[in-house]
Chain A
Amino acid sequence: METSPGRGCSITMEILKHLESSLESDSHTQVLQGLRLLALTLPELEAPLRGSVIRRVLGPLEGLVREGRRAVALMDVLLATYRSGPCDSRLVSLMASMLNSQNPSDAALCAAATLHPETCPPGLRQKVVAVLLGPLQMVTGVTLLDWTNDRHTDQQTDHRHTDRQTDHRHTDQQTDHRHTDRQTDHRHTDQQTDHRHTDQPADHRHTDQPTDHRHTDQQTDNRHTDRDHRQTDHRQTDEDHKQTDEDHRQTDEDHRQTDTDQDRQTEGRSSLSLLLDHLNHKPSCISLLCVSVSSAPYVTDMDSSASVILAVVSLLRICNGHSPSPESKAAIGCSKASTNLIGCSKVQRCCLDSLASLSTCPGAVERVVEVFHVLVQNLQNPDSDPTVLQKNYQAMLRWLSVSAEPNSLADLVTEDLLPVLKKRVCDVRWEVRDSTLEFLGQLCEALSCTVTPILLEALCDQESYVRASAISALARTLPLSDQQGEPGNQTQEQTLGQLLDILSQDSEGFPRRAVVQFFISWLKTHPSSSSSSSLCSVLSLGSTDLDWEVKVHTLELVELLMEETLPGHQESELGSAPPPYGGSGGTNLLTHTDLTHPYAVTPSQPSPLLTHTPTELTHPYAVTPSQPSPLTHTHPTDTHTHPTHTPLTHTPPTHTHPTTSVVCGLSRLVELGVVTALLNGLFDCDRPVALKACSLLLRLRDAVCPSRSLGKGAMTTDDTTVATVTFDLRGQVWEREVTRKLQEKRGSDWVKESREVGCDRPNKNRDSDRTDGAGSEACDRSTGKSVCEGSARVCEVLWSLGLEERQSVLSQSSDHVQNSPLSLLEDILNATDTSHTDEVIVDCY
């Protein structure tokens, strides 16, 4: 379509006209639509157009503000306008009149919206703070606003009897204030219009509608003189006002000041009674306080933070059913507001959020104990809503860190907190149990204490989320119990056993994920005391789990193990931990989980390994078939016969030859089942798992396997040793795949070489039908026996898998096909083909 500039302009004008008429429409719906449109488009507009839009809509907007409805939508527009660029004073004064809304809830919502520094016009900040903190102060009786310095709000504290003394409406004098204090005292200005709606200049900014004022007047009992006056002879009154207006313009400064005070008192009383009305009405009381409390942390400054905290604490006490302080009773004149709040979880949630944010305030330290007390009180209440308790815990953690001396709260924790937490762990609601366990873990970590028995009990919870949280909490606290030298060895064994049971038997993914993560953090905190038998079980169970995240976490564990075992080729001179030979984890697992571990690696000459040079050890490792060899059984540290999960301690690192350490490291990894776990991951159908496994395998290959390990001549004897490390692949899902890959990669020279480095260990499963297996070819054929059937050399496998290629494939996301242009073209072509088919498939689950 061709569009000339003139045409575009006229279209814009049409749109503007429509927008304007929408805002002036009688239909609530249309007005709302107009406001939404404005709020969305104004920030997008460029300078000249923006100006003209604002000019067009300001009038209708003023009308809407006067109407006093749709406060939230209106404020959206005003803020959008204010944020989008420079604006005239009319806009700011419109925002000011929104803050002076007759409805305190609306005013508070507007104030909360205006709160942020970039959106709050500087002149309005003080007013915003007063509107927001007013309700909180009224209900709790805690002085939040420094009313000695704040001229606007000092009337709010005035009690009614003082107001009565000034119950005369000197409307005439207000004119003066309007002209003098227009910017600073908006509420005041509003008040004038209250009485002078007929004789205001047409362009007056604050033109509140008369009906509203009548409501205001009528709310205050002691104003009937004024009302009667108006009812009987309205016109006359207005004329009088005009006259007195004229007179008072002449009056001196002192007189004016007195009147200002009087007027403020009247105004203060009026807003006070409005606020009271609101606080007495339950729904509006709750919403008003929620806004007030949620905004409190953002309006708090250095001086007021302590009192704001106190106010929030008092409010929480009121919610718990404690009567408000006597001063607040005096302030609000009745206790209805406080009865409205008993057990109100909405307000409690806001208070706790607010309290958590306030913990960073400068005045927080002096209030720690009070805050802590009220938080414990919340926990003691059996009816507390789960979300409230969750927030309570969050706030508690924040406040625990505030305390300058954590020990100062120690008594509180042990005497008050822990007993109630024990109760909450047994709550009927799983949400509460879960939050409590999460909190217990964090609490113990923060205070270095342990609650292991409670957590162990929770491992049997019927809700999977709770079991998972208990495991996570254990992960946080178990290292502590270790440090504190508790007689924990037995407990630890028991715990590890329980955790492995969960990993193998739990039907839900969350606890299983948590178990693997437990071992990750365990390995991080106890690098030297990890139990290889447990780790073996975790790796074999975790890498074949049904849940993809369990598998990913298992690979994270693998990564950690690799880092620990293979500190890197260069650094390996320092020596890496030699493998703990006897701990054939697979068999341990067998006894524990009744699952057959697919492999077991044993050194042919275990003890000399560390002292002998690799050249002397042509075959340092041999693959033990699933039936353990006699050697394995005779090893002193062998745990085959002991189905316990004794945490093994690594032998302290000894200075060994680098290659030896690499060989040892790789052997240790094989022994732990790392290679099998990685291959399980690589062939997994979940892409993130396969990708992670692939990158880990690449790292392993680059760190361990000499790049020319299969080449002729280039291989050193060290490399040869590394290349001889084998692992068992029998019974694995990917056995065929790996074997095929190996066959592809093998050359005739490799066969020759394999005769030299092949396994020397007799294999009892020689008559197996897997004659195409990699191991069989790797074995010594000169003897005519397939001595290491079912096993393959790690490096050879790693080189044969085409890992780089796999990685590039795997790093493509699962939706790469549907995102490709080719796929799109296909879809388009198909759409044209199928457009004339009879039925369009409609299905929404």
Chain B
Amino acid sequence: MAREVRCKTVEEPSLVALAKTHAATPSFKNKTASGSHLSNVHLCISSSCFLSGAGQDVGRSCILVSIGGKNIMLDCGMHMGFNDDRRFPDFSYITQQGRLTEFLDCVIISHFHLDHCGALPYMSEMVGYDGPIYMTHPTKAICPILLEDFRKITVDKKGETNFFTSQMIKDCMKKVVPLNLHQTVQVDDELEIKAYYAGHVLGAAMVQIKVGSESVVYTGDYNMTPDRHLGAAWIDKCRPDILISESTYATTIRDSKRCRERDFLKKVHETVERGGKVLIPVFALGRAQELCILLETFWERMNMKAPIYFSTGLTEKANHYYKLFITWTNQKIRKTFVQRNMFEFKHIKAFDRSYADNPGPMVVFATPGMLHAGQSLQIFKKWAGNEKNMIIMPGYCVQGTIGHKILNGQKKLEMENRQTVIEIERCEPGCCHLSLEVKLQVEYMSFSAHADAKGIMQLIRMAEPRNMLLVHGEAKKMEFLKDKIEQEFTINCFMPANGETTTVITNPSVPVDISLNLLKREMALGGPLPDPKKPRTMHGTLIMKDNSLRLVSPEQALKELGLNEHQLRFTCRVQLQDPHSDPDTLSRIYTHLKSVLKGYTIQHLPDGTVMVESIVIKVSSSAEEPNTKVLLLSWSYQDEDLGSFLSTLLKKGLPSGLSSM
């Protein structure tokens, strides 16, 4: 019972599985087909994405796209809220038999956040996948740091035996092929991918996946407004068949980031001024760097003296990556780079745990970000009892963690930990029970960089997709956005739930070689010169052989394939009441058709037939019923349309006022 309550806002397994199309790979056999009509190719997309429940949770992104017979996995995230198997996507859902390597053509990771890459070593090393994994250079460099960080958190918990090791993380990273922005990478002969800048975090990318003329764009997480250290997302007008976009802030138009930043600085400043200490629990990478830049510039401008510390070497290492991948940051940072590297901080120093007891104000960035273990928790315990102090939570906290509890306003934390009591005793003499009083000020600041409703619409305008698919968001909000998108862009918008399948039909252009003879013949037939902007109907025989499609004249096809030609004619009898002689009836038919079918070649032949183009019409009647005429119509299959039309026309009878000649 209790468990259920706890999980109510926790996301269900959210593997988004997009199924494959069969029609996309034509079976190339020695087959002839007449006519130029090609069947539509179905890009079938099935999704099983149940997206965030109460919107307080981080989902795990794992999307399987099948396009043109290729299977691509987009992101391979894990769920921070679960401790058991549910934290990873259920890969048996993709294929129950065989290994993933045989099924998947490649895996693409959009950025280094764990809800997008956390299950990667599990998938590649424990489930077994040896195929290529694509990610950008910064993601490849930073991903293992976060995975190591996460592994540490997990090992710290009890009963975590079946978890990936450092060696597995390394082996997984060895399978990664780095991507450059705007560089088209050929995965194999048919499948190509291209990365675009996505903002959000260092190295985040959107990817365009293309097989033949079909394409899908996956955004991952993106941000359409530049922030302090990163630029805004950008994409070509690539008109994909489907655009898969995150929709975290589907209905929100967020207040400007500047406001939030000002608010943050104001709060830090006030606390430091009154002699308090500020604790900012962060994960090693991402938010920490942004806040460091923010504080560094503020300290510089205000000439502040209070020390700022980083708790571990991890963040320093992260800063190293920001320096290394300076080209991925925003223009301002790149411009000022020559004069001063934004990531070389003057005011921010490494932290030693003994500093926590130092008197006077200070600001400390400590890991981990959710206050569930480690240094940040230790410092928190030391500082919690003093109302002068402040804690700023700049990101998401999993339910049950101390971070989550204090954000929810809990003022008394049951620690059940005698060691804690001892420590509390030390900083708060006299307080000798099993709970910790939270007297310090608790602040939450959302700095996450996702596109809001406006940004999502902006991206749609940029890419001009034919269909839209929303993931990574809350159902209600997505519904609202979906309606808005459908109204504004008149395109289909899907928001698949867990286990749901969406089918998208695409019209691929399949290139066909046309024989020169056939073209010449078409030209000889006259008519206007071909206009490249207008479709033109052409007759020929399509030969699909050895992976090539050729349109040739029927004669050539017959010759090539060594086949005999068979003439196919349709015949049709139409009964008509006409009190004239047979030749007269024929004449009347001739006159009637002459008047109806203007512009057609109609001949009255001396052998007692009327010819309309290639269609032959004869009249006969029996001696018993001379007024009942039987019209015999015969046409070749090429004139099927006209033949059908004529038979329908003649069935209606002849107008009474017709003269016989």
Report if A391 contacts B (CB, 8 A). yes
Least Cβ–Cβ distance between B192 and chain A, in angstroms: 14
Cβ contacts B573-614/A at 8 Å (1 or 0 each): 000000000000000000000000000000000000000000
Chain A 248-296 interface residues, beta-carbon cutoff 8 Å to B:
277, 280-283, 287, 290-291, 294
Give the complex CA separation of A188 and B566 in angstroms. 33
Q: A830 contacts B405, CB within 8 Å?
A: yes
Q: B55 contacts A805, CB within 8 Å?
A: no
Contact of A39 among B96, B101, B354, B400 (CB under 8 A): B96
Give the complex CA separation of A828 and B248 in angstroms. 25
Residues of chain B within 8 A of A281, CB atoms compared: 28, 547
12 A-B contacts (beta carbon < 8 Å): A28-B44, A29-B44, A346-B131, A465-B173, A509-B148, A733-B354, A815-B373, A815-B401, A817-B413, A820-B414, A844-B221, A844-B396
Chain A 22-44 interface residues, beta-carbon cutoff 8 Å to B:
27-30, 32-33, 36, 39
Cβ contacts A774-818/B at 8 Å (1 or 0 each): 000000000000000000000000000000011001101111111
Chain B 406-463 interface residues, beta-carbon cutoff 8 Å to A:
407-410, 413-419, 444, 446, 448, 450
Contact of B42 among A28, A685, A686 (CB under 8 A): A28
| Partner-binding segment picked from B268-276, B312-320, B533-541 | B312-320
Residues of chain A within 8 A of B166, CB atoms compared: 510, 513, 549
Q: B56 contacts A845, CB within 8 Å?
A: no
Residues of chain B within 8 A of A465, CB atoms compared: 170, 173
Give the complex CA separation of A291 and B103 in angstroms. 10
**Contact count band on B:** 35 or more
Residues of chain B within 8 A of A483, CB atoms compared: none
Residues of chain B within 8 A of A350, CB atoms compared: 101
Report if A302 contacts B (CB, 8 A). no
Give the complex CA separation of A687 and B378 in angstroms. 11
Least Cβ–Cβ distance between B22 and chain A, in angstroms: 5
Give the complex CA separation of A480 and B96 in angstroms. 46
Q: A32 contacts B95, CB within 8 Å?
A: no
Q: A387 contacts B417, CB within 8 Å?
A: no
Report if B113 contacts A (CB, 8 A). yes
Residues of chain A within 8 A of B287, CB atoms compared: 845
Known A-B contacts A30-B501, A817-B402, A826-B405; the reply to A434 vs B170 at CB < 8 A is yes
Task: Give 9 A-B pairs besides A69-B22, A72-B95, A112-B97 with Cβ atoms closer than 8 angstroms.
Answer: A36-B93, A283-B188, A387-B174, A507-B320, A733-B354, A824-B6, A830-B408, A844-B59, A845-B115
Give the complex CA separation of A691 and B263 in angstroms. 41
Residues of chain A within 8 A of B152, CB atoms compared: 548-549, 686
Report if A218 contacts B (CB, 8 A). yes
Give the complex CA separation of A113 and B98 in angstroms. 6
Residues of chain A within 8 A of B444, CB atoms compared: 841
Known A-B contacts A29-B19, A844-B450; the reply to A814 vs B156 at CB < 8 A is yes
Q: B97 contacts A844, CB within 8 Å?
A: no
Contact residues of A: prevailing secondary structure: helix
Chain B residue nearest to A510 (CB atoms) is B166
Q: A844 contacts B408, CB within 8 Å?
A: no
Residues of chain B within 8 A of A507, CB atoms compared: 313, 316-317, 320
Known A-B contacts A824-B6, A830-B409, A843-B448; the reply to A390 vs B174 at CB < 8 A is yes
Q: A546 contacts B446, CB within 8 Å?
A: no
Report if A767 contacts B (CB, 8 A). no
Q: B248 contacts A823, CB within 8 Å?
A: no
Give the complex CA separation of A218 and B410 in angstroms. 76
Q: B410 contacts A830, CB within 8 Å?
A: yes
Chain B 340-361 interface residues, beta-carbon cutoff 8 Å to A:
352-354
Least Cβ–Cβ distance between A149 and chain B, in angstroms: 29
Q: B113 contacts A845, CB within 8 Å?
A: yes
Least Cβ–Cβ distance between A63 and chain B, in angstroms: 16
Q: A79 contacts B170, CB within 8 Å?
A: no
Contact of A805 among B188, B413, B418, B446 (CB under 8 A): B418
Least Cβ–Cβ distance between A713 and chain B, in angstroms: 32
Give the complex CA separation of A277 and B102 in angstroms. 20
Give the complex CA separation of A821 and B99 in angstroms. 41
Q: B157 contacts A32, CB within 8 Å?
A: no
Chain B residue nearest to A277 (CB atoms) is B29
Chain A residue nearest to B83 (CB atoms) is A815
Report if A317 contacts B (CB, 8 A). no
Contact residues of B: prevailing secondary structure: loop
Chain B 19-34 interface residues, beta-carbon cutoff 8 Å to A:
19, 22, 25, 27-31
Chain B interface residues (CB < 8 Å from chain A): 2, 5-6, 19, 22, 25, 27-31, 42, 44, 46, 52, 54-56, 58-59, 69, 83, 93, 95-99, 101-103, 113, 115, 130-132, 148, 152-153, 155-159, 166, 170-171, 173-175, 188-190, 201, 221, 248-249, 252, 286-287, 312-314, 316-317, 320, 352-354, 372-375, 377-378, 395-396, 399-402, 404-405, 407-410, 413-419, 444, 446, 448, 450, 472, 474, 499, 501-503, 546-547, 562-564, 566
Residue among A33, A387, A546, A806 having the largest count of chain B Cβ atoms under 10 Å: A387
Report if A556 contacts B (CB, 8 A). no
Least Cβ–Cβ distance between A84 and chain B, in angstroms: 13
Give the complex CA separation of A831 and B399 in angstroms. 11
Least Cβ–Cβ distance between A735 and chain B, in angstroms: 10
Chain A 488-544 interface residues, beta-carbon cutoff 8 Å to B:
507-510, 513
Q: A283 contacts B158, CB within 8 Å?
A: no
Q: A827 contacts B373, CB within 8 Å?
A: no
Chain A residue nearest to B312 (CB atoms) is A546
Q: B563 contacts A224, CB within 8 Å?
A: yes
Give the complex CA separation of A140 and B444 in angstroms. 65
Q: B28 contacts A685, CB within 8 Å?
A: no
Least Cβ–Cβ distance between A595 and chain B, in angstroms: 14
Contact of B31 among A75, A218, A510, A833 (CB under 8 A): A218
Q: A827 contacts B448, CB within 8 Å?
A: no
Residue among B42, B58, B102 having the largest count of chain A Cβ atoms under 10 Å: B102
